[in-house]
Amino acid sequence: MKRYLSIVIGILFMFFTYGCTNSDEVAEELIAYHNNDWLTYKNMNDEKLGPIASEIVTLILRDDHKGVELLIKEEFFPAVSEIVDYLEGIELEHKEVQALNQLMIEVKKYSYNQFQETAKVLESGDEKKIKRDSRNTVST
């Protein structure tokens, strides 16, 4: 009976120890992800999309729908694609950090899709849709 109890206690100890070690590894990977990959993503996002966003707002305020459409297609889409490619290229070990990275990818893809819809509306030339979509683009 003592032997059986010792084995059970030993197995439980191993599980508890593994759980603590795994949490430390996840935390270390999360810190490394933030310090390297996320900061690189943030800088790419600011450098590539920051100027485009202010130019889009300027063009919208001028009612230059063709300019907005061209800017979205020629500058915004390639920049977002490059950022998404960077995020998808990050290799992570732990599912918790992978889930965070995947969430960031989904946010960028959602933004891409929203602007794709805006480009389609601008291309159609429907003034009512353009006015409504312009307000949504500025708030995004």
| 71 vs 131, more confident | 71
pLDDT value for 51: 92
- Distance of alpha carbon 118 from alpha carbon 113, whole angstroms: 9
- Distance of alpha carbon 67 from alpha carbon 44, whole angstroms: 23
Residue 84 has pLDDT above 90, yes or no: yes
Residue 11 has pLDDT above 60, yes or no: no
pLDDT value for 131: 59
pLDDT value for 139: 47
Q: H or E stretch including 59?
A: helix 39-61
**DSSP code for 90:** -
Computed over every residue of the chain, the mean pLDDT equals: 80
pLDDT value for 19: 52
pLDDT value for 44: 93
Question: What's the number of CA atoms in the CB half-sphere (13 Å) around residue 25?
Answer: 10
Q: Are 116 and 87 within 8 A, CB to CB? A: no
Question: What's the number of CA atoms in the CB half-sphere (13 Å) around residue 16?
Answer: 6
The model's pLDDT over 16-66, given as tens digits with 9 standing for 90+, comes to 545 555 678 888 988 898 889 989 999 999 999 999 989 988 988 888 888
Phi and psi of 125, rounded to 5°? 80, 10
Residue 79 has pLDDT above 90, yes or no: yes
